[in-house]
Structures are given as C-alpha cells and as structure tokens.
C-alpha cells in the first residue's frame, strides 16, 4: 500500500523540517523526488541521505518567490505526478506591530510561492489528465493564534488556494488537498525558543508542547506519512479537503 514507485514528486522547502521528511518518506516509497530549496548545503545533505538508502533524488536551488525561477525548474521536470508545497516562513506580530516589509516577505514566500508552483505545475498535470497536489497550511488558517497576524493571513490564503484548485481542476484528473499542522518539532522551533527565551529553553519547550492536548509536538515524519497517504492511489477519492494535524488542538483545547 501507499506505493509511489516511478512517480515524480516535486517538494518545496525540502532541505529541512516537514519538506525534508516528505522527501525521505516519498523516496522510500519508490518516488523520484525533486528537492526544491534555497539552502544548498542542507539540500546536498538531504540528497546524500536519500541516496544512502537507495532512493532517487535530484536537488534544485530555488527561490519560490521568483516566478521565472520556478518556471525554469518546472520546465526541467517532465511528467510531474506530485507537487507538495512545504516552503514557508513564520513571523511574530499583531496587526499593529507587524512591519510592512515582514508582511510582504510572508506573503511572497507563503502565498506567492505556492501560487508560483501551482501556476507552473498544473499545466503539465492537465496535459496528462493526472496529478496530485498537497499544500502545507496550518491550524492558523482556522483558529486565532496569538501574535501570528501575517502568518495566519498567509495560511488562510493557502487553504483558499487549495479549495480553488480542487474545484477548478476536478475534471482534469488533478486532486488537491492541504494539511494543517499545529506545532511540529523542527529546527525552526528550537531556534525560535533559543532566540526569544534564552535561559528558559526547556521550560518554553514544555509549555509549547503541552499547548497540544495530546501533550507533545508532532514529528515531521508523522506529517509526512499523512502527505504520503494523500498523494497515494489509496486516496484517489479525496480532494478539496483540509486535514488538521494538531494533536487535538482545535477540537479539544477547551
């Protein structure tokens, strides 16, 4: 079950965190994975790790905010079967404390970056009459998170784009869904805590972990397994859905 043998999958933000976990899991299931990211050193390490386990991986340095750059990369990947939009950044701030430059940066990466990849991947999928897209949104798209104004804006847009694509290409053989995680334990979380709570890292990690009713953060691999299912033939009846991946945060945090 959940075989991706021979499938070509492009994954943005694939050098770290959830994107890297998705690339690794996909490769183990037989996919040819195309890792798209800005961090060359981390990209090379991710490819080396996948190849050490007999997986097939190709790395592309890519700034998803540049449509011309995205176009060039996707033109070099023929017969794409799967697109997973994982590239994203966060920002701390309320509506009146978020700087314009930070708002624009969040928009360009989290919203325009997803649009750019959809814009370039979908025509090839339409031509084949087949394709699967999974976008990484967030619980911030459906609940209010403190001090996450711009980030919440961007993830709400990702959810909206997901539903729009699912509807528009329903009869072109293209499925589109999104996954909305709560906190996932990645290097981003560790760096955020170290930067903002020096000397209290352990206490803050425990506090953030316990904000999920299940009592811990998710692991990137756990998110990747849900993405794998959604991209597999076993999920062929599923499109236009948002999957909260939140340890009970939305429904049980009373």
Q: What are 106's two structure tokens? A: 């969040």
Q: Contact at 8 Å (CB) between 30 and 4?
A: yes
Bridge partners (DSSP) of residue 58 are: 34
64 contacts 70 by C-beta, under 8 angstroms? yes
Quote the CA–CA distance of 102 and 179 in Å, as a whole number: 24
Residue 169 known to be catalytic: no
Q: Are 57 and 35 in contact (CB under 8 A)?
A: yes
Q: Is the separation of the CB atoms in 137 and 155 below 8 Å?
A: yes
From 34, 60, 151, 243, active-site residue: 151
Structural tokens at position 233: 């033939």
For Cα atoms 107, 110, 114, give the angle at the middle one, nearest 5 degrees.
115
C-alpha torsion sign, points 106, 109, 115, 118? negative
End-to-end Cα, the chain, rounded Å: 37
Whether residue 226 contacts residue 179, with contact meaning beta carbons closer than 8 Å, is answered with yes
User: Which parts of the chain fold into alpha helices (H)?
Assistant: 17-28, 40-52, 67-75, 100-106, 113-128, 149-168, 187-196, 201-210, 220-231, 249-252
Q: Which residues are catalytic?
A: 151
């Amino acid at each position: 079950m959940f075989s991706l043998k021979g499938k070509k999958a492009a994954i943005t933000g694939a050098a770290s965190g959830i994107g890297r976990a998705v690339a690794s899991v996909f490769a183990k299931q037989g996919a040819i994975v195309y890792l798209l990211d800005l961090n060359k050193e981390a990209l090379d390490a991710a490819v080396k790790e996948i190849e050490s386990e007999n997986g097939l991986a190709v790395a592309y340095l890519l700034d998803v905010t540049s449509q011309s750059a995205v176009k060039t990369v996707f033109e070099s990947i023929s017969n794409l079967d799967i697109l997973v939009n994982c590239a994203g950044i966060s920002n701390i701030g309320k509506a009146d404390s978020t700087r314009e430059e930070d708002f624009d940066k969040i928009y360009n990466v989290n919203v325009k970056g997803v649009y750019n990849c959809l814009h370039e991947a979908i025509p090839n999928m339409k031509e084949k009459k087949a394709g699967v897209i999974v976008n990484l949104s967030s619980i911030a798209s459906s609940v209010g998170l403190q001090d996450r104004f711009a980030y919440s804006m961007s993830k709400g847009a990702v959810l909206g784009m997901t539903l729009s694509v699912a509807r528009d290409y329903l009869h072109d053989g293209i499925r589109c869904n999104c996954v909305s995680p709560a906190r996932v334990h990645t290097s981003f979380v560790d760096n955020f805590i170290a930067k903002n709570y020096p000397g209290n890292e352990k206490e803050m990690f425990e506090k953030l972990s316990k904000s999920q009713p299940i009592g811990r953060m998710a692991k990137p691999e756990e998110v990747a397994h849900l993405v794998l299912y959604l991209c597999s033939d076993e999920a062929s009846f599923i499109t236009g859905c948002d999957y909260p991946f939140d340890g009970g945060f939305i429904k049980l945090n009373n």
